[in-house]
Structure 1
Amino acid sequence: MKFHASQVYMIMAFLQSLANSTMFTTYAIFYIATLGLNPLELLIVGMVLEVTVLIFEGITGVVADTYSRRLSVIAGMFALGAGFVLQGFIPSLETLIPFVGVFVWVLVSQLICGIGYTFISGADTAWVVDEVGTEKMGSLFLRAKSYSLMGTLLGIALSVGLSTLGTHLPYAVGGLLYLGLGLFLIFFMKEPRFVRPERTADSSHWQEMKTTWLSGAKVIRREPMLLLILVVTLFSGAASEGYDRLWEAHLISEIGIPESHLSMAMWFGLIAAVSTFLSIFVVRVGERRLDMNNERVVMVGMFVLTFIRIAAILAFAFSPTFTWALVCLLLIGMLNSLTQPLFDTWLNQNIESRVRATIISMMGQTDALGQTAGGPFVGWVGTRYSIRASLVMAAILLSPILLIFGRVLRKKTSR
């Protein structure tokens, strides 16, 4: 059996989202209720992940452009699988090795997962764009988002079901799904259009990688648009770390889950399911209405979505009731589902093929830098004042992005 590159990419999108939603739909219950992590520890967990990405992202991106994007993606899948399975067994490890604390095991697993993320980041996108062509990438990213949302929907139900049996089980199963995806890619992921850089007789592996990295850096320096994308990525990373790590804690601690026959896991599963249904609808509308090959359309879309996202995060931070907070969460989920394909399209419209994975990895490093620098500060604000204050800070960190999008749009209008 053979699969076209676009089909393999869709399967990857579906299975990764299935694994991620299986783990992350109820992860707050596992981290907060079972492991007992506080807001600062939650942000430190994220910081360790992002520092790992910051250190390894550039190296793994260069490996993908220099040697093989396929092997980079497969290595990443197995590393992620190992890291997540480790998290799933933390309660057992605490019993077997009591002198190592729970928090230490979480950090070790984040280190492994961070390395896995860096091998995949940039390599998967660079691989599929070269295999299908840049003229098809915009519509492909939107279709892949639809598949990933369907995987998310299935994973939500799986997460809630597993969490009722044991809060650690979603991580164990999610890790096994990543390991299975790695095996699938060994047999069905091909890269016939990948062209390895020519190697001179006296060049070493490190020299080849250095040459590839320097080529990517030169492309970024001479392209003003890529420098603007770097700035957008930096502030977006700083803002997202605060919101992504603390919205559940805000809902649990400062707003409160309504008393009912539904468990906390069921509430989070219900929120995720409704958000996913709405996101599928929004992405399908985007597939029909948006011209993803028109850069101005993509830019206007990102400007509008970012503006609404800032307003929605602020509204969530100051939600007076659970219903108000729920509406804000659903709106933010829909906005995020449409923003990522638009951003990926904008980024790849401005990158040369030969250094695509390297530059995308550099963007990943910038995102990690933003999260590493902004995350602990946002977490300190939450610990010192309130989680609500942290969310306000996350919204503030998004605001410079609007200025950048506005500047790019003005330049394109004046041409």
Structure 2
Amino acid sequence: MKLHASHLYMIMSFIQSFANSTMFTTYAIFYIATLGLNPLELLIVGMVLELTVLIFEGITGVVADTYSRRLSVIAGMFVLGSGFVLQGFIPSLDGLIPLVTVFVWVLISQFVCGIGYTLISGADTAWIVDEVGASQMGNLFLKAKRYSLMGTLAGIALSVALSTLGTHLPYMIGGFLYLVLGVFLLVFMQEQRFVRPERVEGTTHWHEMKSTWLHGAKVIRRQPVLLMILLVTLFSGAASEGYDRLREAHLILEVGIPDSNLSLAMWFGLIAAVSTFLSIFVVRLTERRLDMNNERVVLNGMFVLTGLRIAAILAFAFSPSFTWALVSLLLIGMLGTLIEPLYDTWLNLNIEGKVRATILSMMGQTDALGQTAGGPFVGWVGSRYSIRASLIVAAVLFMPILLVFGRALRKR
């Protein structure tokens, strides 16, 4: 059986989101309540993941552009699945090896996951853009986002159900789903339009990869818009790491969950479900109304959405009540859902095909650099003052992005 590339990309988006939602809807309960990690340790966990991405992202992107995007994606699914399964086993690993604590096991699993992320990052997008063509990618990214949200919705229910049986089970099942996806892609994923660079006789594999990386760097250097995208990615990474790692902790420790018959897992599942329903609605509306092939329209959308996102994060940080925090949280989720496909479209509209995976990986490195540099600082603010203060810092780190979007719009 042969699947069209766009159909396979939808399936891949659905299963990845299904697995991620299964793991991450209730991950805060696993990390905070079961493993006992504090705010600073939560940020260190994120820093190790992003540092791994920072180190390996450029290498894996070059490999994808030099040899095969398909093989890079498939290998990433297997490595990532193994890292998540390892996290699911952490409670039973404690004390297995002397001096290796629960926190160390978490860091090891994050290192494995980081390598898996780098193998997939850039390679999956470069593969699908080559297979379907640049003219189709904007609408395809929006459609894929809708499918991924459906996967998220399915994963929420599974995550809550598994978490009530054992807080480690979502990671085990999510990792298993990634391994199954790897097998599926091994059988059905085709790579028909990727043209491997001609190898000069007598050159080594290392020289080939070096040439690909240098060409990608030259492309970025001579295109001001790509330098702008680098700045957006850097500040976005620094800001998002603090918010992503501490939002649940802010709800639990500072705002407070209302007393009810619902468990923490059920509360987070309910919040995630409502957020996903709203996101599906706004993505569908955007598909119908927004011209994704018009770069100025895409830029205008990102400028407005980023401004609203900053305001929503500040509202969440200053929440006087659970209802206020909940509304802010839902708004942030919807805005982030819309920004992602717009950003991917803007980026791919400005990249040439033969170094697409390399440049996308460089963007991934920049994001990792922002998260690695910004995450610990935001975590330190949370430990020194309050999680509320960390969220305010995260909102401030988003603000330079508005200046970059404004400059890009003037240039257009």
Structure-1-length-normalised TM-score:
0.99
Q: Tell me which residue corresponds to 2:49.
A: 49
**1:8-407 to 2 correspondences below 5 Å:** 8-94=8-94, 96-97=96-97, 99-407=99-407
Identity %: 81
Q: SS state of the match for residue 219, structure 1?
A: helix
Contact map agreement 2:95 2:101 (CA 8 A) in 1: no
- Aligned partners of 1:217, 1:191: CA distance in 2, in Å? 25
Contact map agreement 2:3 2:188 (CA 8 A) in 1: yes
- Aligned partners of 1:104, 1:96: CA distance in 2, in Å? 12
- Aligned partners of 1:287, 1:378: CA distance in 2, in Å? 35
- Aligned partners of 2:224, 2:390: CA distance in 1, in Å? 32
Deviation at 1:100, TM superposition (A): 1.6
Q: Deviations over 1:170-206 (max 9, x none)?
A: 0000000000000000011111100000001101000
- Aligned partners of 2:44, 2:113: CA distance in 1, in Å? 15
- Aligned partners of 1:136, 1:172: CA distance in 2, in Å? 36
Q: Deviations over 1:357-393 (max 9, x none)?
A: 0000000000000000000000000000000000000
- Aligned partners of 2:309, 2:142: CA distance in 1, in Å? 19
- Aligned partners of 2:316, 2:289: CA distance in 1, in Å? 29
- Aligned partners of 2:408, 2:214: CA distance in 1, in Å? 26
- Matched residue type, 1:259: D
Contact map agreement 2:84 2:113 (CA 8 A) in 1: yes
- Aligned partners of 1:6, 1:19: CA distance in 2, in Å? 20
Q: Deviations over 1:322-354 (max 9, x none)?
A: 000000000000001110000000000000000
- Aligned partners of 1:63, 1:183: CA distance in 2, in Å? 21
- Matched residue type, 1:141: F
- Matched residue type, 1:342: L
Q: Deviations over 1:112-139 (max 9, x none)?
A: 0000000000000000000000000000
Deviation at 1:410, TM superposition (A): 1.6
- Aligned partners of 2:12, 2:244: CA distance in 1, in Å? 23
Structure-2-length-normalised TM-score:
0.99
Moved more, 143-152 or 90-99: 90-99
Deviation at 1:408, TM superposition (A): 1.1
Deviation at 1:97, TM superposition (A): 3.6
- Aligned partners of 1:19, 1:347: CA distance in 2, in Å? 26
- Matched residue type, 2:319: S
Q: SS state of the match for residue 94, structure 2?
A: helix
Q: Judging changes above 3 Å, is the alpha-carbon distance between structure 1 residues 95 and 166 closer, same or farther for their aligned structure 2 residues?
A: farther
Q: Deviations over 1:39-77 (max 9, x none)?
A: 000000000000000000000000000000000000100
Q: Deviations over 1:271-293 (max 9, x none)?
A: 00000000000000010000000
Q: SS state of the match for residue 217, structure 2?
A: helix
- Matched residue type, 2:407: R
Deviation at 1:409, TM superposition (A): 1.1
- Matched residue type, 2:313: I
Deviation at 1:94, TM superposition (A): 1.1
Moved more, 96-105 or 4-13: 96-105
- Aligned partners of 2:359, 2:252: CA distance in 1, in Å? 39
How many residue pairs match? The answer is 412
- Matched residue type, 1:116: G
- Matched residue type, 1:307: G
- Matched residue type, 2:55: I
- Aligned partners of 1:203, 1:358: CA distance in 2, in Å? 20
Q: SS state of the match for residue 191, structure 1?
A: coil
Deviation at 1:96, TM superposition (A): 3.6
- Matched residue type, 1:382: G
- Aligned partners of 1:58, 1:71: CA distance in 2, in Å? 16
- Aligned partners of 1:8, 1:108: CA distance in 2, in Å? 32
- Matched residue type, 2:216: G
Gaps spanning 5+ residues in structure 2: where? none
- Aligned partners of 2:250, 2:175: CA distance in 1, in Å? 27
Deviation at 1:98, TM superposition (A): 5.6
- Matched residue type, 2:296: R
Q: SS state of the match for residue 112, structure 1?
A: helix
Misfit runs of 4+, over 6 Å: none
Q: Deviations over 1:127-154 (max 9, x none)?
A: 0000000000000000000000000000
Question: Over aligned residues, Cα RMSD in angstroms?
Answer: 0.6
Deviation at 1:95, TM superposition (A): 5.1
Q: SS state of the match for residue 316, structure 2?
A: helix
